[in-house]
Structure 1
């Protein structure tokens, strides 16, 4: 039978095994590459990774992990926060009031089809090429259109008309209906849609840092890839993946805390 549930223990074991298989596969490919060329740097072996980790820990060779973490984390946090706030306000308004949807949905749907990184030239004009503003703008406006559409759709589809009529019959105002009924029912969907924007937000951040920054994960990836220090590049990529998983789990915990009725 499809979709038959498995135990949590089995799920954890299978997840661990999948990572082990990936590591074994990489180790085998790296070994084959070093047999052909012992000085190969594109597929570093464990000793080369150790050397890279030592450089990261000591800050040698222009690698400053903590400075990169602080710079990228601040840009990502502000950009994602502003993007979610803007999408929440406009998306909820579009989902509740047809006149707002008719006015704003067409331009938002249009903007959602433009690749955010292609908008860099526009952000150059408005925000310049220095400072945190351009990174925040790329992330915030990158995730805003899709997230706003998702919130509007949830407000329209997940709240039935009978519930709205019943609430108005009890004497609720427009604000009370939106805040106490609509928002409470779609809040889990908002958090779930925000989770889906973590990956794109990190893509926009790294892309902007790759092109413009003098500090941050994207900048270090650009500089180290030019030097073919792939032991550092792969380590930074792994750290980005871990950070994404941490953010994802934090949003899951937030959803469980604020919406205990919503199943996983």
Structure 2
């Protein structure tokens, strides 16, 4: 797994039957430097209701999927985990528990990218992102054999999810494949994209069919075109009737989703 640069902040990670002290935060992709200290493992029970949780979360997360998430912790790192399930309070805790965070993150990856979550391990931190959100739950999913695959030069997918710990909103879900080569968008291609309604239609379909967003979309617009042309990405911002928005970033030229970002409506004081 390639290391990325992060602003530094101290956080606590509960993972693989160990208490992990993490000096890292999320910026684009989540790759963590970990120091392990033995402590009883934390497991996921059926998600507890919180006032800001999606109404259909419990329906979306089946008992089988909950067991799969428990297995992430049992199997990762080949460490022996204990059967007792504890509740541990993370630093700077908000209203969203760690177990709810894992359920929301797994649900978001599954519905946006149609992934079999039982084949992935996870890492969870409460990190200082130094953005508009002071603290964010960050969940990273990767194959159990990611290091082996990377050493063999094989392609594989990883997924990062950022969740607001106060209101329980998933603010970003990103699919990562470091083997993919990006194709910069030329001026002529950019002009064609601007005239091609399929990019906006694809973004709207992702939002309505996969994200299951029911609020009315007021506008859908290509944004940050100059920067994204160099990155080989096309970003469509969709404003909703309540002033909140989603941005779907898609890869050029195949229109596959790279990430979906959510921003709440700005409150005028």
What TM-score, normalized to structure 2? 0.19
Q: Which structure features the higher share of helix residues?
A: 1
Q: Which structure features the higher share of strand residues?
A: 2
Larger Rg: 1
What TM-score, normalized to structure 1? 0.19
Structure scoring higher RCO (CA < 8 A, sep ≥ 6) equals 1
